[in-house]
Amino acid sequence: MTQSITIDQAAAEKQRQEMSEKKFADQPWLDPDNKPQIVIENVSKNYGGFQALQDLNLSIYKGEVFALVGSSGCGKTTMLRMLAGFLEPSAGKITIDGADMIGVPPCDRPVNMMFQSYALFPHMTVEKNVGYGIKRSGLSKQARAARVEAALDMVQMTSMATRYPHQLSGGQRQRVALARALIREPKVLLLDEPLSALDKKLREATQFELLNIQYKLGTTFIFVTHDQEEAMAMSSRIAVMDKGRIIQVGTPADIYEFPKTRLVADFVGNSNLLAGVIKEIAPDGRVTVHCPEIGMDLVVDDHGRFREMQKVWVAIHPEKIKMSAEPIEGAGLNQLPGIVWELAYLGHRTVYQIKTEQSKLITVFVENARRSTTLALRWNAPCFISWAADSAVILTE
């Protein structure tokens, strides 16, 4: 088959090899010589008097799987629709591969969009749905048929080519929509909640399928999701949005380990947040924070720029907290007593809510590494929790 959409295993392996040898291959945004594929500059969008996006700046590189996340109504879909060309910005500039996109209609952009609902035509078979995108491409009938065949093969739907959408499962419909979106070989694929119609297990399996296809084609994927685990699992970088602004852009690990604000910390891992005031900053960068809500001082290894008496929040992920029936020796300053207030056994882990003496609830995850039906601690059991100084971060907003 001659279509570029079909890449055989050997070619994919060669590409994988070349990529791994390239410096910055996985992190093109760190390469000073690499130009971004998509540049969003000072973009705002008003709906009547309402400002849905405010002065957005973002650069996305070729081959990235880029996630837009944030609470409902923060402007994710608006951003996606502007990239697709269904909406024009009220101010600012969008360029793709150096070309200004303002005023360029959706069909003339090197971009395609896969909608949340998949938007398949119910009266068309799978192959007709997939072929629809290249109907007016100028290709011969034969060439189109070959391209449809290649696209169906890529998403492993060849055997269902003659079925109608109502004869498919949610996951199969999703794959048809993906084939239809990719058949035009866009440089950028925009995906609005691509996996939200699937149940958890299928969603996880499909995440890998989607990534494999993306990897083989090298197409840039920009996707919107509500699911933080999905964003973490799939993306090269994540932009966290709030009220029409981007608050942080980073790799999943950056965002998880070094959130800039309480909202980001909360979005990517249900962090425990303890309000406090900076009491002391040691010359080695260790910061002592007085936290009235737990009635004690906490020590945090965070080399950010802070000042004494500054109002801050100490954020600690639940899995970074140790829990024990006895005081943990050598735990240092960040140790406090409490009782088990709530617990939920989830199989792979147990989630505990520990109530401190000041009635602050702190969430702790305990991995169930060994097979046992006995819980480490039961309801109302007195316990101690502690964490290392470099496990927490200090947030100023």
How near is the Cβ of 297 to ligand ATP at its closest, in Å? 39
Compare residues 72 and 159 and give the one whose CB is closer to ligand ATP: 72
How near is the Cβ of 188 to ligand ATP at its closest, in Å? 18
Q: What is the 3-state secondary structure (H, E, C) of 40-94?
A: EEEEEEEECCEEEEEEEEEEECCCCEEEEEECCCCCHHHHHHHHHCCCCCCEEEE
186 within 8 A of 219, measured Cβ to Cβ? yes
How near is the Cβ of 375 to ligand ATP at its closest, in Å? 37
Pick the piece of the chain touching ligand ATP (CB under 6 A) from 54-62, 71-79, 354-362, 367-375.
Answer: 71-79
How near is the Cβ of 52 to ligand ATP at its closest, in Å? 4
- Asked if 292 touches ligand ATP (CB under 6 A), the answer is no
Comparing CA positions, the residue from 285, 340, 344, 294 lying closest to residue 314 is: 294
Binding ligand ATP by CB under 6 A: which of 25, 42, 73, 325?
A: 73
Compare residues 22 and 226 and give the one whose CB is closer to ligand ATP: 226
Bridge partner list, 322: 386
Compare residues 172 and 225 and give the one whose CB is closer to ligand ATP: 225
Compare residues 74 and 188 and give the one whose CB is closer to ligand ATP: 74
Pick the piece of the chain touching ligand ATP (CB under 6 A) from 65-73, 162-170, 359-367, 382-390.
Answer: 65-73
Instruction: State which H helix or E strand residue 352 sits in.
Output: strand 349-356
Cα–Cα distance between 385 and 21 in angstroms, integer?
A: 44
Compare residues 28 and 70 and give the one whose CB is closer to ligand ATP: 70
Residue at token pair 């009491």: 279
130 within 8 A of 180, measured Cβ to Cβ? yes
Compare residues 24 and 47 and give the one whose CB is closer to ligand ATP: 47
- Asked if 72 touches ligand ATP (CB under 6 A), the answer is yes
374 within 8 A of 356, measured Cβ to Cβ? no
How near is the Cβ of 319 to ligand ATP at its closest, in Å? 27
100 within 8 A of 93, measured Cβ to Cβ? yes
Task: Give residues 155-174 in contact with ligand ATP (rule: CB under 6 A).
Answer: none
Task: Give residues 75-114 in contact with ligand ATP (rule: CB under 6 A).
Answer: 75-78
Task: Give residues 15-54 in contact with ligand ATP (rule: CB under 6 A).
Answer: 47, 50, 52
How open is the CA angle 336-338-342, to the nearest 5 degrees? 135
Bridge partner list, 265: none
- Asked if 121 touches ligand ATP (CB under 6 A), the answer is no
First-to-last CA distance in the chain?
Answer: 55
How near is the Cβ of 144 to ligand ATP at its closest, in Å? 34
For residue 155, give Cα distances in angstroms to 4, 63, 124, 216, 225. Answer: 15, 19, 18, 12, 21
Please state at what angle helix 170-182 crosses helix 200-217, rounded to 10 degrees: 20
Compare residues 76 and 260 and give the one whose CB is closer to ligand ATP: 76
Instruction: Point out which residues bind ligand ATP (CB under 6 A).
Output: 47, 50, 52, 70, 72-78
